[in-house]
Homo-oligomer: A and B are copies of this chain.
Amino acid sequence: MDISKRGQEIQPSPIRKLKPYADEALERGIHVYFLNIGQPDIPTPQPIMDAFHNYNEKVLSYGPAQGFLELRQAIAGYFRSYDIPIDSENVVITIGGSEAIHFSFSAVADPGDEIIIPEPFYTNYNGYAAFASVKIVPLTLRVEDGFRLPPTEEIEARITPRTRAILLCSPNNPTGTVYTPEELERVTAVVKKHDLFLIGDEVYKEFVYDGGTHKSVLEYEEIKERVIVVDSISKRFSSCGARVGAVITWNEDVYQAVLKFAQARLCPPSVEQKAALAAYQMGLDYFQPVKEEYQKRRDVLFDGLKDIPGIVIHKPQGAFYIIVRLPIKDCEHFVQWMLTDFHHNQETVMVAPAQGFYCTPGRGKDEVRIAYVLKEEDLKRAIVVFKEGLRKYQSLFL
């Protein structure tokens, strides 16, 4: 009595699989700086908390499958404040960005179809590709190039008769890259020429640094009907546990398919949608201090790491991640060792081995992803501990 093949084959979350070692370190009294997952320490805005505290329906009932109209209107308004003419009828509320990915994959691709994604990429795309029996075709980027997109020919070389879409995540998790208009135009031209969909994962839209602005794939009029944006409040409003996301599309067929998928799971959480509505009602001013805080952290992390002998590093322009190549052959072993065998004054650091962000076998073994989700003081301390651990690891194993 075997379980299903997909149940056997779906990979465990590479970000979470080292968690037990961290738990053991904590049990030994070691303080662990968690730079391994994108869980911000920014306080969840008070209007969100107030929405929970003020919730007062008599019956916590089902809402509409596509989400509450008020929230869909608020999200549409958010896009319109960026001059992107979204209406509530272009928005389906999803259970986190995760479900938005799942619905998008399922709406454009059938089992065996392919979606091209620049790697390294957010690992959970793998989970949903497995769930949807869709094949991810990686377009490998390199830290030496600052994870810039390759020339058009290299993108086109990945296209087969089964290709259904290209997915771009910008600002990027895990690289911190923000695609330039030139890069986006290169991809939109390919999408148009080869009759594909373009899925834009733009959940880090607000996190662009150095005065830069985010260019959305929704801003390309000529591929308007081909674009699906995956959105979420998790990072935007430091509300990862709320599980409120959205699919944004002008394509009516895609919208109807996503709506039918949504009907199958009845509705997103009702109270959390009211919390999300309260968050959007804060307006865009909320983001400026948050962005400044992350930019400061980015600078602290980048400046703290860049002089490590043998490191290959590029300065992220957005989100709150960086991928660096370390002068270490097996970063998974290093990350584990930091938790099991190392501490510096009872402190250690957990980062994410980058291998899980690649789909091409062997890639990323010498890289780690670091999330700058802690406040400056903690981050500075974590960098000291990380460098100390790296030095010791090298002295032991190299």
Contact = CB atoms under 8 A, between A and B. Distances in A.
Q: How many copies of the polypeptide does the oligomer hold? A: 2
Contact of A43 (B58, B131, B254): B58
Contacts of A196: 1
Contact of A263 (B12, B55, B96): B12
A241 B263 contact: no
A242 interface: yes
Contacts of A52: 52-53, 55, 271
A266 interface: yes
Interface string A183-209: 000000000000111000000000000
Contact of A260 (B11, B49, B260, B265): B11
A3 interface: yes
B58 A44 contact: yes
A242 to B, nearest CB: 6
A39 interface: yes
A42 interface: yes
A4 interface: yes
Nearest to A191: B1
Given A4-B164, A127-B263, A131-B261, A59 B37 contact: no
Given A61-B241, A127-B263, A241-B62, A49 B56 contact: yes
Interface of A: 1-8, 10-13, 16, 37, 39-44, 48-49, 52-53, 55-63, 65, 95-96, 98-99, 102, 106-111, 113, 124, 126-128, 130-131, 133, 164, 195-197, 225-226, 238-243, 251, 253-254, 257-261, 263-272, 275
